[in-house]
Amino acid sequence: MPEDAEVDLDTLHERIHEELEHEGGRLLKFVALTTACLAALAAVASLQAGATVNEALAMKTEAAVLQAQASDQWAYYQAKGIKGVIAQTASNVWQAAGKPVPAKLDSTVQHYAQDQKEITTKARELEQERDQKSVEAEHLMHRHHGFANAVALFQIAIALGAITALTRSKPMYVGSLALGAVGLVFFVLQYV
């Protein structure tokens, strides 16, 4: 048997380690790349979650202000109603006494009744605007929750990527990619 056909075990062992490092290095490059992308998406989703919740809180505040204004209008309506009843009572006293009701008294009763109609319209407009702001705020809160869920999924995917880097476990990497994809779906759905 010829001696030069012998395989150098040291060289073979070194080549095997190089290939393993190269293969692991390639996996680590993919993990690093996807983790960086997931971190960027998580940052954007987090900013959007914060922005939508702030906008929702502003809308809720506007709705509360509109509610206060509507309540003021209804109080004003009641005050006009009380004044109208007082004027009507005075008119009734004149009639009960068999005397003619002063024209100014009758016009005052009609004036308060007309004021109440205008106040009612204004109060209902304010209530309608309040309701619109509340609906908008609820919609924004729903979007906020979607962004927050996306952030959570991105963070879990990043954690799985870190575990993949430590263990070089391809199934763990697939799990990281899957959770990242689900997070991306949650993120994109908030714009649809």
Show me where the domains of the chain are located: 36-189
13, pLDDT greater than 80? no
> What is the rounded average pLDDT of the residues 23-37?
85
pLDDT, tens digit (0-9, with 9 covering 90-100), for 134-170: 999 999 999 999 999 999 999 999 999 999 988 888 9
The pLDDT score that the predictor gives to residue 75 is 97
Q: DSSP letters along 140-185, please?
A: HHHHHHHHHHHHHHHHHHHHHHHHHHHH--HHHHHHHHHHHHHHHH
36, pLDDT greater than 60? yes
pLDDT, tens digit (0-9, with 9 covering 90-100), for 57-105: 999 999 999 999 999 999 999 999 999 999 999 999 998 999 988 889 8
% residues pLDDT > 70 (the chain): 88
State the Cα–Cα distance between residues 162 and 159, nearest whole angstrom.
5
The CA distances from residue 9 to 5, 16, 60, 108, 175, in Å, are: 12, 10, 74, 114, 38
- 40 Cα distance to chain centroid: 20
pTM above 0.75, yes or no: no
53, pLDDT greater than 90? yes
Mean pLDDT of the chain: 89
State the Cα–Cα distance between residues 139 and 145, nearest whole angstrom.
10
186, pLDDT greater than 60? yes
16, pLDDT greater than 90? no
